[in-house]
Structure 1
Amino acid sequence: MCGIVGVVSHSPVNQLIYDSLLLLQHRGQDAAGIATANGSNFHMHKANGMVRDVFRTRNMRSLPGTTGIGQVRYPTAGSASSEEEAQPFYVNAPFGIILAHNGNLTNWQQLKDEMFRIDRRHINTNSDTEVMLNVLAHELQLSSSSLQLDPAALFKAVSGVHRRVRGSYAIVSLIAGYGLLGFRDPFGIRPLCLGKQETPEGVEWILASESVAIEGIGFEFVRDIAPGEAIFIDLEGNLHSQQCATNPSLNPCIFELVYLARPDSVLDGVPVYNVRLRMGDYLAEKIKRELPDVPIDVVMPIPDSSRPAAMQVAKKLGVEYREGFFKNRYVGRTFIMPGQAMRKKSVRQKLNAMGIEFKGKNVLIVDDSIVRGTTSHEIVQMARDAGANKVIFASAAPPVKYPNVYGIDMPTRGELVAHGRTDDEVARMIGADYLVYQDVDALKQAVRDINPALKEFEASCFDGNYVTGDVTTEYLDRIETARLAPSSQSDRDAASEAAEGGPSRSQLHLQLSVG
């Protein structure tokens, strides 16, 4: 999971992209990058760190141009400390292409091998984004029969990408001298949406991971990009679109709605805030069924993403809603911190329990989800230390039992507290007196209640169904082995650095001339 944005404007885009990335910072805190196009030149700056730390005034001045893309990177195993894998990525032929990616390619290793053996392209990193960039470049080379590139050739190339690539991907890409290309995988797993702004000079366009990044900079939300669809916006602001997949099917990642997306975003016609309220309704009904005789004095959320669900739980149970945990907003999201030790350490830095709200009370704590259980255990212990009589823990999401291979960092079964355990066993592990999980069917129905047009979802971490059809037990075994046994000293060093808080920030600046 990362955040991406692409803009075609009639004025400099560096500030627009910077502001959009700030609005997408929740989607990735590991690294940030911006690339702009100014005539035949690309300009790029990227580095490890938060947006506000990566880009200084001098860096912004070095990013001229009226077209550009940006990305905030979410750390996954093996790449959290690698500055070489900060995005965007660049390749000089054909035409000159810069690309940023949100998602994860499940067949990237096979593609990397094909790139070398068949396409004669060298991949320099272990990033699936560099693989995607080279696949697109190769398909563009095949589809363009002359020195000129037109929308038909671009869409033919994207069709070729869809045929070769498996997994999840939302893409924004600059093509030197031509414009901005964006597309979404045939299952629509990762979000991508379109916005525009009318100016005296003409229409300006934006592609972004979430609607909040569009509306937050003053643009108007237009629509979501359909699964398999490609959008091309030329340098004059003309928009071209085409369905490029053979059998597209909308299966959006339901974990986006549970946790990843901002509550003020709308994804695939679903206001995130509304669906989280609805999740609270269904969770309250299950609490009533499973714990009819357990007295509850107060309902408390874990800020911030579980607040809507907790408010509805309190309302439906007729119990007082209170804020007992207070958040330090200058600590990153613990779920997307690289390294288990770092996540555990950051929980108490991030949250503080106010004793007056806990002392002598039976407290129902509502969180958005339980993944590894580290955060939940620390939270339960904090409630007990603050004087809670009993701690009831409720998850607005179902048990996370299976690895996610589409861009969320939960790839090994051993890391998932609910894998192979009953609810009672998980309750004991996190130290709660009682534990209630949302049902999978109830979660899906909560989304359908808001947008009945959504029929299917990518919910593999809950139900074990991998929609791309290429994820086998053997595949999961391979990625688990690779994660648990780093293959090189550099991997071990990276893992060590991540556990200790990561390496110091370094910066990369690149000016590329495209002939």
Structure 2
Amino acid sequence: MSDFLKHECGVAAIRLLKPLSYFQDKYGSTLWAFNKLLILMEKQHNRGQDGAGIGCVKLNMPLGQPYLFRTRDASKDALTTIFNGQIKKLNKKIRRGQVNLKDAEDIKNNFDYGGEILMGHLRYGTSGLFDEGSCHPYLRRTNWPTRTLMVLGNFNMTNTPELNQRMIERGQHPVFGTDTQTVLEEIGYHLDEAHTDLYRALRDSGMPGPEIPHAISSQLNIQEIIHNSAQRWDGGYAIMGAIGNGDYFCLRDPHGIRPCHYLITDEFIAVASERVPLMTVFEVESEQVYELPPANMLSIKADGTHAITEFTTPLKPTPCSFEKIYFSRGNDPIVYRERKALGAALTPQIVDSLEDRFDKSAITYIPNTAETAYYGLLEGLRVYRRKRVHAQLLEALRNGTLDEKMLDSAILKRWPRGEKIAHKDIKMRTFITQEKSRAQLVSHVYDLTYGAVGPEDVLVAIDDSIVRGTTLKKSILRILGRTNPRKIVVASTAPQIRYPDCYGIDMSELGNFIAFQAAVSLIKQHGKGRLLEEVFQACKAELAKPREERRNCVKAIYNGLTDAEISREITRLVTPHDAPCPVEVIFQTIENLHASIEGPCGDWYFTGDYPTPGGYTTVNVAYMRWFEGKGGRAYDLPL
């Protein structure tokens, strides 16, 4: 993805089912879980650059001793800062003779993260503030362990203002800013309700006060608390949390928009956003790692008993297709196959663009995350070429025209050629939000292979997706143009992105999308500018309806325009005025996207068909704000 996007966060958790001494005896380290959490988070570092946080809950701590801990950091190297900081604190105690590293009780009593429940979060923020206070986990402290709550997640709620209003109507005082705070307070409210009911019943039964906390802990029904909390949530989410008594939960939204995987052994239970980190860190096969089903939650009681149950009604599965296109690590066996398939699916369009002149073409990829799709495209082109050669040979044999000249010129030399044209300098970081500064740096992030492309060659560069087109116009095409090809073809493995996302990806402002800009440009060229006002009025009227009845009025912008027309206009818009050669931009088709991805596939940013009512609210509000010349994320704003 050459365009810079902040996207889905990463989550990780380890729940030990054996005491710390077990891991010291078997694995030689009382810090086994702490070290595993670090690696599990590091293997998902692709999911977070804005900050990180970790939390810990210790089971059965004596009265008067702390049992819940949290550390967050929003610095450049947050993950390293957090874990190194904790190890430095521990080493200082070891040097002073206060802690014996091989003594499990010593570690549990004197090291903040020497507990049985460890959780971590990697932040890619799409809303709220960008400082340490906005990093997960979020914490709700009380002097009752069974009311103390810690929550983190990879999610975005589309109806946060509505959820905050619900709390106000109860008499609460919500702190506006992030939907994370809203989720924390909603779960906390129902936890308080359940806790109060249990406390009064146990107290009235005559149970002595010191025995009540343990009884509440054993009787707390996590499934019911989450069921009550999630009734009005609208969004994509993978949320996990822990209660101070040691109960743990992890849940996934009813459509399965956000990813979540788990591993269960007799020693521990581990959870992560992605499958491969669990496989790598714990050295298990893919068959041992399961995907948490939509609308399900994994709950673990303080005594270690665990279950996977539905907390709400499962709905049509629509997992985010950008996980497959770009976000998830490409070494997942399923993701790897799907990305190759996405590349291969572009073959017919690339063949047409090359006019079957494989001998005068060079195939490459940019950025590095498109490499797997590049291999798929090369394979697709070679399969196509083999079929052509097979047909030519059969024809030549039938006609008696097969000779050495034909073999050399028509068959043996005309094969697709792969080249490594752009090399990303990993020492140069481009996580810069200011567009002007970013554009200046991108041209230096990539080094070119000079001399690999001839002046008669068509240079084909495969990209994951094209969202805004800004980086393509200001940097990428200029970089590729320095190789002096006859023509540049940029092929996106994703279809045209036409509608905003509201479930966790930073793609919410409609006017930023190059596909939308192209459609508006064509509408004006066709003398139909009045349509823009009509769509605005339709969106406004739509928002007066109950949220469950709303539809996507922005689809009217694209009605009557073909994919090919929009692609040609995108090409015109992104081509620099001083481009050294012609440019062509090609996009994946919706049909090929679904054919390439195994199982259900969420495609609302391409089709405008949202899985939740909040999506239809978001797209209509996003258009209205564009029409009125306003910015901001539509799902953050009260109607």
- TM-score normalised according to structure 1 size: 0.85
Equivalent residue runs for 1:363-382 within 5 Å: 363-377=459-473, 378-382=475-479
Using the alignment, how far apart are the partners of 1:330 and 1:479 within structure 2? 39
8 Å CA contact 1:210–1:261 kept in 2: the answer is: yes
Please say which of residues 350-359 and 257-266 is displaced more in the overlay. Answer: 350-359
* SS at structure 1 position matched to 2:281: coil
Could you tell me which of 154, 179, 186 is aligned with 1:128?
179
Could you tell me which of 336, 339, 343 is aligned with 1:276?
339
Shift of the alpha carbon at 1:96?
Answer: 0.9
* SS at structure 1 position matched to 2:369: coil
Shift of the alpha carbon at 1:299?
Answer: 0.4
Could you tell me which residue of structure 2 aligns to residue 115 of structure 1? 167
Could you tell me which residue of structure 1 aligns to residue 310 of structure 2? 243
8 Å CA contact 1:187–1:228 kept in 2: the answer is: yes
Give 5+ residue unaligned stretches, structure 1: 449-453, 492-515
User: Can you list the C-alpha shifts for 1:53-89, whole angstroms capped at 9, x where unaligned?
Assistant: 432533344433221111111132553x333211110
Could you tell me which of 158, 167, 170 is aligned with 2:238?
170
Equivalent residue runs for 1:147-158 within 5 Å: 147=199, 148-149=216-217, 153-158=221-226
Whether 2:15 is the aligned partner of 1:8: answer yes
* SS at structure 2 position matched to 1:169: strand
Could you tell me which residue of structure 2 aligns to residue 505 of structure 1? none
Code of the residue aligned with 2:84 in structure 1: it is T
Could you tell me which of 362, 365, 369 is aligned with 1:301?
365
Code of the residue aligned with 1:162 in structure 2: it is A
Shift of the alpha carbon at 1:236?
Answer: 4.3
Shift of the alpha carbon at 1:112?
Answer: 1.6
Could you tell me which residue of structure 2 aligns to residue 214 of structure 1? 278
Please say which of residues 289-298 and 101-110 is displaced more in the overlay. Answer: 289-298
8 Å CA contact 1:185–1:228 kept in 2: the answer is: yes
8 Å CA contact 1:185–1:227 kept in 2: the answer is: yes
Could you tell me which residue of structure 1 aligns to residue 553 of structure 2? none
Using the alignment, how far apart are the partners of 1:372 and 1:327 within structure 2? 21
- Bigger radius of gyration: 2
Could you tell me which residue of structure 1 aligns to residue 400 of structure 2? none
Whether 2:189 is the aligned partner of 1:138: answer yes
Could you tell me which residue of structure 2 aligns to residue 232 of structure 1? 299
Equivalent residue runs for 1:350-365 within 5 Å: 350-360=445-455, 361-365=457-461
Shift of the alpha carbon at 1:117?
Answer: 3.0
* SS at structure 2 position matched to 1:206: strand
Give the direction of change, closer, same or farther, for the CA distance of 1:150–1:403 in structure 2 (3 Å limit): farther
Q: Pick the structure with more helix per residue.
A: 2
Code of the residue aligned with 1:384 in structure 2: it is G
* SS at structure 2 position matched to 1:462: helix
Please say which of residues 235-244 and 318-327 is displaced more in the overlay. Answer: 235-244
Shift of the alpha carbon at 1:217?
Answer: 1.3
Code of the residue aligned with 1:253 in structure 2: it is C
Shift of the alpha carbon at 1:389?
Answer: 2.8
Q: What percentage of residue pairs aligned between the two structures are identical?
A: 22
8 Å CA contact 2:249–2:299 kept in 1: the answer is: yes
Using the alignment, how far apart are the partners of 2:339 and 2:78 within structure 1? 28
Using the alignment, how far apart are the partners of 1:166 and 1:68 within structure 2? 28
Code of the residue aligned with 1:66 in structure 2: it is E
Could you tell me which residue of structure 2 aligns to residue 312 of structure 1? 376
Could you tell me which residue of structure 2 aligns to residue 430 of structure 1? 574
8 Å CA contact 2:128–2:178 kept in 1: the answer is: no
Using the alignment, how far apart are the partners of 1:119 and 1:5 within structure 2? 34
* SS at structure 1 position matched to 2:346: helix
Shift of the alpha carbon at 1:251?
Answer: 1.2
Could you tell me which of 573, 591, 597 is aligned with 1:441?
591
Q: Pick the structure with more strand per residue.
A: 1
Whether 2:210 is the aligned partner of 1:64: answer no
8 Å CA contact 2:121–2:136 kept in 1: the answer is: yes
Could you tell me which of 504, 516, 531 is aligned with 1:419?
516
Give the direction of change, closer, same or farther, for the CA distance of 1:204–1:276 in structure 2 (3 Å limit): same
Give 5+ residue unaligned stretches, structure 2: 1-7, 21-30, 91-111, 200-215, 383-415, 519-565, 576-581
User: Can you list the C-alpha shifts for 1:434-485, whole angstroms capped at 9, x where unaligned?
Assistant: 111100121011113xxxxx2x432111111110123224433477699955
Could you tell me which residue of structure 2 aligns to residue 106 of structure 1? 158
Using the alignment, how far apart are the partners of 2:424 and 2:613 within structure 1? 40
Could you tell me which residue of structure 2 aligns to residue 37 of structure 1? 57
Shift of the alpha carbon at 1:27?
Answer: 0.9
Give the direction of change, closer, same or farther, for the CA distance of 1:382–1:323 in structure 2 (3 Å limit): same
Using the alignment, how far apart are the partners of 2:257 and 2:629 within structure 1? 23
8 Å CA contact 2:14–2:270 kept in 1: the answer is: yes
Using the alignment, how far apart are the partners of 1:406 and 1:366 within structure 2? 26
Give the direction of change, closer, same or farther, for the CA distance of 1:364–1:251 in structure 2 (3 Å limit): same
Shift of the alpha carbon at 1:331?
Answer: 4.2
- TM-score normalised according to structure 2 size: 0.69
Equivalent residue runs for 1:316-395 within 5 Å: 316-318=380-382, 319-332=416-429, 337-360=432-455, 361-377=457-473, 378-395=475-492
Give the direction of change, closer, same or farther, for the CA distance of 1:342–1:403 in structure 2 (3 Å limit): farther
Count, aligned residues? 470
* SS at structure 1 position matched to 2:133: helix
8 Å CA contact 1:196–1:219 kept in 2: the answer is: no
Give the direction of change, closer, same or farther, for the CA distance of 1:415–1:288 in structure 2 (3 Å limit): same
Using the alignment, how far apart are the partners of 1:372 and 1:414 within structure 2? 9
Shift of the alpha carbon at 1:50?
Answer: 3.3
* SS at structure 2 position matched to 1:217: helix
Whether 2:402 is the aligned partner of 1:402: answer no
